[in-house]
């Protein structure tokens, strides 16, 4: 394998946004918001993790280079053990990057080539330190005060305060990134504040987002479409009607848009069903499927999931994981089977990346269903 990563070729007719920022500045939130506006998002760090999965292209070279010590009991690469080696030895880090970078670059090139979207967002924590920045038309930097970033690491990643502080302080100064940015997104306040900045910057570059165009229902016909944060008030009303104890506001739902996307089924102005989903590392996880009490779920579930899948395929998802409560599964089991969703325990899923994603989201009260969306995987096993 060559130690030199092949240079990426700029695709014609596409705008490449490089998105970066130090740890816990909210890069992924900004990437998801850009996806709501119509961009195709690539998580370069997530691709790195996929490349190291058992059977994936980087797995064998890493084990041959660093030994079986880096494996856990299941034969997967333990990233903490590997990190303990390479982050304390610059030469070892160079060896790892020589394995990983060409593979990830190939994956990025394949994803961009197949993407129908005109705007591509590449999220990478080390965007500036490598050659990816020269490939980008725009550099966007997510920013947040240091104390907020430390608090996020403590809260979301369960780090000890001293460890969180150390992780923040050992990185290159955030100011070095913001100085080189075309757009800085201040991500230290509310999700709504972040959304307004992202949307404003998008409009300045590309005009009004086509994703916000609304399809009107005719003669009470059901309309199914991807939601945007501008639908937040209607979604809040729908969720509160199902469970008044939630007491969600428009701002609360915009916060949810920082974590996931929604497809909604509308009759007139009323939301009749929603599917909340997110795509990470080419895997769609649908972890919120709900129907209004007045809705015939059997009539809505097929078109709702089918349209979501079509959207997911444009984002090049390889598989869909659907998590539903046991009552919904019992009522709609035959419909799920007709749509090729197969009920499996997470431990029964063969492909390791899909299995790990299922374990991350699965709850004891839910049934996990899997559907393959693409035969040819981006990071094919070797």
CATH of the domain at 319: 3.40.630.30
Region 133-151: mean pLDDT is 91
Domain count for the chain, please give it: 2
Question: Which of 206, 233, 252 is the last residue in one of the domains?
Answer: 206
Sign of the Cα torsion 235, 239, 244, 248 reads negative
Res 378 pLDDT > 80: no
pTM attached to this predicted model: 0.86
Distance CA 335, CA 215 (A): 26
Region 258-285: mean pLDDT is 91
Decide if 382 is inside a domain. Answer: no
Q: Report residue 5's pLDDT band, with 50, 70 and 90 as the boundaries.
A: low
Distance CA 239, CA 343 (A): 26
Decide if 181 is inside a domain. Answer: yes
Res 22 pLDDT > 50: yes
Residues 154 and 183 in one domain: yes
Q: Which structural domain range is residue 303 located in? A: 214-372
Average pLDDT, rounded, for the chain: 89
Decide if 41 is inside a domain. Answer: yes
Distance CA 167, CA 146 (A): 11
Region 235-260: mean pLDDT is 93
Residues 308 and 351 in one domain: yes
Q: Report residue 3's pLDDT band, with 50, 70 and 90 as the boundaries.
A: very low
Query: Can you give the three-state secondary structure of the chain, one letter per residue?
Result: CCCCCCCCCCCCCCEEEEEECCCCCCHHHHHHHHHHCCCEEEEHHHHHHHHCCCCCCCHHHHHHHHCHHHECCCCCECHHHHHHHHCCCHHHHHHHHHHHHHHHHHHHHHHHHHCCCCEEEEECCCCCCCCHHHHCCEEEEEECCHHHHHHHHHHHCCCCHHHHHHHHHCCCCHHHHHHCCCEEEECCCCHHHHHHHHHHHHHHHHCCCHHHCCCCCCCCCEEEEECCHHHHHHHHHHHHHHCHHHCCCHHHHHHHHCCCEEEEEEECCEEEEEEEEEEECCEEEEEEEEECCCCCHHHHHHHHHHHHHHHHHHCCCCEEEEEEEHHHHHHHHHHHHHCCCEECCHHHCCCHHHHHHHHHHCCCCEEEEEEECCCCCCCCCC
pLDDT-above-70 percentage for the chain: 95
Decide if 61 is inside a domain. Answer: yes
Region 147-161: mean pLDDT is 87
The predicted-structure confidence for 234-247, as pLDDT tens digits, reads as follows 999 999 999 999 99
Res 55 pLDDT > 60: yes
- What per-residue confidence (pLDDT) applies to 6? 57
Question: Which of 150, 180, 206 is the last residue in one of the domains?
Answer: 206
- What per-residue confidence (pLDDT) applies to 382? 41
Res 2 pLDDT > 60: no
Distance CA 288, CA 323 (A): 7
Structure tokens at 375: 């035969």
Decide if 315 is inside a domain. Answer: yes
Region 162-173: mean pLDDT is 83
Decide if 116 is inside a domain. Answer: yes
Structure tokens at 220: 């009470």
Cα distances (angstroms) measured from residue 139 to each of 77, 78, 101, 128: 32, 32, 20, 9
The predicted-structure confidence for 184-238, as pLDDT tens digits, reads as follows 999 888 899 999 999 999 999 999 887 777 665 555 678 999 998 889 999 999 9
Decide if 82 is inside a domain. Answer: yes
pLDDT-above-90 percentage for the chain: 58
Residues 192 and 127 in one domain: yes
From 129, 135, 100, 123, select the one nearest 280 (Cα to Cα). Answer: 123
18, 135 Cβ separation under 8 angstroms: yes
Res 374 pLDDT > 90: no
Residues 150 and 290 in one domain: no
The predicted-structure confidence for 315-353, as pLDDT tens digits, reads as follows 889 999 999 999 999 999 999 999 999 999 999 998 888
140, 180 Cβ separation under 8 angstroms: no
């Amino acid at each position: 394998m060559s130690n030199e990563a092949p240079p990426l070729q700029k695709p014609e007719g596409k705008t490449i946004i490089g998105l970066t920022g130090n740890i816990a500045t909210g890069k992924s939130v900004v990437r998801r918001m850009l996806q709501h506006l119509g961009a195709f998002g690539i998580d370069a760090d997530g691709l790195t993790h996929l490349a190291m999965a058992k059977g994936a292209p980087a797995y064998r070279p890493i084990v041959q280079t660093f030994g079986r010590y880096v494996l856990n009991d299941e034969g997967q690469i333990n990233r903490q053990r590997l990190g303990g080696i390479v982050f304390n030895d610059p030469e070892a880090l160079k060896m790892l990057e020589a394995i990983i970078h060409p593979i990830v670059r190939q994956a990025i090139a394949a994803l961009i080539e197949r993407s129908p979207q005109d705007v591509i967002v590449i999220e990478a924590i080390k965007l500036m330190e490598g050659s990816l920045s020269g490939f980008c038309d725009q550099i966007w930097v997510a920013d947040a005060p240091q104390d907020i970033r430390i608090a996020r690491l403590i809260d979301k990643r369960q780090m000890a305060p001293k460890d969180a502080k150390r992780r923040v302080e050992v990185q290159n100064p955030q100011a070095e990134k913001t100085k080189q940015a075309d757009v800085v997104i201040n991500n230290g306040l509310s999700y709504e504040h972040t959304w307004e900045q992202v949307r404003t910057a998008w409009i300045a570059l590309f005009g009004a987002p086509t994703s916000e165009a609304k399809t009107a229902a005719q003669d009470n016909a059901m309309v199914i479409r991807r939601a945007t944060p501008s639908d937040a008030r209607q979604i809040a009303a729908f969720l509160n009607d199902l469970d008044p104890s939630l007491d969600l506001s428009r701002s609360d739902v915009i916060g949810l848009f920082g974590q996931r996307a929604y497809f909604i089924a509308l009759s007139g102005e009323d939301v009749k069903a929603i599917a909340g989903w997110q795509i990470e590392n080419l895997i769609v996880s649908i972890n919120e499927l709900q129907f209004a009490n007045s809705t015939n779920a059997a009539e809505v579930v097929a078109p709702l999931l089918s349209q979501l899948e079509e959207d997911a395929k444009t984002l090049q998802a390889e598989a869909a994981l659907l998590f539903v409560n046991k009552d919904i599964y019992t009522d709609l089991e035959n419909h799920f089977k007709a749509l090729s969703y197969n009920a499996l325990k997470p431990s029964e899923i063969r492909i390791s990346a899909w299995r790990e994603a299922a374990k991350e989201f699965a709850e004891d009260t839910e049934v996990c269903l899997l559907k393959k969306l693409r035969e040819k995987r981006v990071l094919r096993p070797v």
